[in-house]
Copies of this chain bind each other. A is one copy, B any other.
Amino acid sequence: MTTPYTSAQVTAELAATPGWELADGQLSRTVTRKDFRDALLYVNAVGYLAERANHHPDVAISWNTVTLTVVTHSAGGLTAKDFALARQVSDLG
């Protein structure tokens, strides 16, 4: 789970992870919710998934907009853990 993917692997995995893009070597996803309250509820759902995976994205909230970024710092790159979490987050909608 913690071996960094090669560039080719990242490209292939990313294609299978809708709603996420590559930004500065990390996976990034930005979503817009109805308002701040709804954005915070969304962040709590993401937080539940992150705690379950013991793998935590960086989170930025700006009123109704949430940006998530995820990378495996300890591996120095993107790993299966990142894509697994990303797909679970995508399933939240």
A62 contact set on B, CB distance < 8 A:
58
Any B CB within 8 A of the CB of A60 = yes
Chain B nearest CB, measured from A50 CB (Å): 7
How many copies make up the complex? 2
Interface residues of A in 53-69 (CB under 8 A from B): 56, 58-63
Contact of A36 among B36, B51, B60 (CB under 8 A): B51
What would 19 A/B residue contacts be, using CB atoms closer than 8 Å?
Answer: A36-B47, A36-B50, A36-B51, A36-B56, A37-B47, A37-B51, A40-B43, A40-B44, A40-B47, A43-B61, A56-B63, A58-B61, A58-B62, A58-B63, A59-B59, A59-B60, A59-B61, A60-B60, A60-B61
